């Protein structure tokens, strides 16, 4: 087995790259049968003819040498060449023709079964409590890569060690998930009583709509413990990996994002910048519905401006607008209509359930974290039974890992990126059709 990185072929001296290609394949011929693995092939295999200068000519010579060596093999020589890249769109077409890299395998993020298998591999290195169910953790971590899952278990092990526990429990796994996703708890943050109350009402608005709206992903928990730039969060857990986004689910999710601002205004008669992330999230979803998913009656099944936004596994910064100003105004009008309708629906539901929103907010102020069963109890009965034993933000025993849906952002530091738009999370990011 021979392994080399594409960047290893690139040197400052002319001819070194091509010479290294020939040397590598000469060694491979002497060691047949064997595998030759080239990592980051795009470093040397980019499309020829792009760019100017001697450095580009040297890279093209290296690529030409690689193409010649690959063409010179017989099927009986026992040499298999494998390459990896996260930018297949920039590779030279000659590399991908039959007889060279003619079989392309895309490796996506793991699904729920893949995540469970990865967790089992890494769990062999640590001691888990009997209560730990890795299938639950796998179901609650959509969009996580193998490295993130390994990091989650490492963080859980550190948390258990700090608590002098001999085994990792579900509590540590959930705390580790929250830390990996959002960062450390900021319990040292000096929040005024007014800010804490406002945040509690904000999250209560999200939580009650999550319970009342039929097509939202099930509520997992709601908290007002600050993490990163977020002062609180309402989390929902998809029943399974999200593969398609349905119109009713998108409309209900947009409606739920409106709940924070409405509840804030209901509490104080004023509004703040805490809903900046919610507004960004709702706008992205509504725009995706209109311009990419064909969910607008006025515009129909036409995609607008989506061709240049994404490049396979990366993002192309160059964007173009391939429609008229009249169409742009129509798109803006449709997006605004979707958001306004969602706001009106959310306002009606929260107004009808104002006492329950107040009860959730008061419970959040007292206990900091509520799970779904506790919020549902308040929605059904109007109060929280003290025997239900809220955990005060220390994590739910046996609670399932979850993904963020909405969060309250610090008033003086609006978010640069909405954490609710991760691949596979409740709030879908616009993506190519």
Task: Give the C-alpha separation, 351 to 321, whole Å.
Answer: 40
Give the number of other CB atoms < 10 A from CB of residue 52: 7
Contact of 304 with 295, CB cutoff 8 Å: no
In sequence order, what are the residues at sequence separation of 6 or more whose Cβ sits closer than 8 angstroms to the Cβ of residue 76? none
Is the CB of residue 204 less than 8 Å from the CB of residue 355?
no
Q: b vs e for 365-389, b when ≥16 Cβ sit within 10 Å of the residue's Cβ?
A: bebbbbbbebbebbbeeeebeeeee
Let me know: does 233 contact 433? Beta carbons within 8 Å: no
Straight-line distance from the first to the last Cα atom of the chain, in angstroms, rounded to the nearest whole number: 39
Query: In angstroms, what CA-CA distances link 264 with 140, 173, 201, 354, 414?
Result: 29, 32, 6, 12, 17
- Determine the Cα–Cα distance for residues 406 and 399; give it in Å rounded to an integer: 19
Beta bridge partners of 235: 221, 404
Between CA 356 and CA 362 the distance in angstroms is 10
In this structure, the chain runs to a length of 433
**DSSP at 417:** S
Question: What are the start-end ranges of the H helices in 305-394?
Answer: 325-352, 354-367, 372-381
Angle, helices 193-212/325-352, rounded to nearest 10 degrees: 100
Structure tokens at 431: 């993506």
Place of tokens 């928990």: 221
Residues recognised as catalytic: 203
């Amino acid at each position: 087995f021979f392994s080399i990185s594409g960047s290893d072929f690139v040197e400052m001296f002319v001819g070194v790259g091509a010479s290294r290609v020939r040397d590598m394949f000469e060694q491979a011929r002497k060691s047949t049968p064997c595998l030759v693995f080239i990592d980051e092939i795009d470093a040397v295999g980019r499309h020829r003819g792009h760019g100017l200068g001697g450095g580009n000519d040297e890279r093209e010579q290296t690529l030409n040498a690689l193409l010649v060596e690959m063409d010179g093999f017989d099927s009986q020589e026992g040499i298999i060449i494998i390459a990896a890249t996260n930018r297949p769109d920039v590779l030279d077409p000659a590399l991908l023709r039959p007889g060279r890299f003619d079989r392309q395998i895309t490796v996506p993020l793991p699904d729920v079964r893949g995540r469970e298998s990865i967790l089992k591999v890494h769990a062999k290195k640590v001691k888990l409590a009997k209560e730990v169910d890795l299938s639950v953790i796998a179901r609650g971590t959509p969009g996580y890569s193998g490295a993130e899952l390994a990091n989650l278990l490492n963080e859980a092990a550190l948390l258990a060690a700090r608590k002098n526990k001999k085994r990792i429990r579900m509590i540590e796994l959930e705390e580790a998930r929250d830390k990996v996703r959002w960062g450390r708890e900021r319990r040292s943050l000096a929040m005024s009583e007014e800010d804490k109350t406002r945040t509690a009402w904000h999250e209560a608005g999200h939580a009650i709509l999550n319970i009342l709206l039929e097509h939202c992903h099930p509520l997992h928990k709601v908290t007002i413990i600050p993490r990163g730039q977020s002062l609180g969060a309402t989390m929902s857990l998809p029943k399974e990996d999200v593969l398609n986004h349905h119109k009713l689910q998108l409309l209900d999710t947009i409606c739920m994002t409106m709940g924070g601002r409405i509840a804030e205004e209901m509490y104080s008669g004023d509004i703040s910048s805490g809903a900046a992330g919610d507004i960004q999230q709702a706008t992205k979803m509504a725009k995706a519905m209109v311009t990419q998913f064909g969910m607008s009656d006025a515009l129909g099944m036409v995609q607008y401006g989506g061709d240049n936004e994404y490049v396979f596994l990366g993002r192309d910064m160059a964007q173009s607008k391939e429609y008229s100003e009249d169409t742009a105004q129509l798109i803006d009008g449709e997006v605004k209509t979707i958001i306004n309708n969602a706001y009106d629906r959310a306002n009606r539901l929260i107004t009808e359930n104002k006492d329950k929103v107040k009860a959730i907010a008061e419970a959040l102020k007292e206990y900091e974290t509520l799970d779904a069963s506790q919020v549902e109890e308040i929605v059904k009965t109007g109060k929280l039974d003290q025997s239900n034993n809220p955990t005060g933000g220390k994590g739910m025993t046996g609670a399932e890992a979850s993904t963020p849906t909405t969060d309250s952002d610090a008033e003086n530091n609006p978010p640069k990126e909405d954490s609710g738009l991760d691949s596979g999370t409740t709030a879908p990011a616009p993506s190519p059709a």
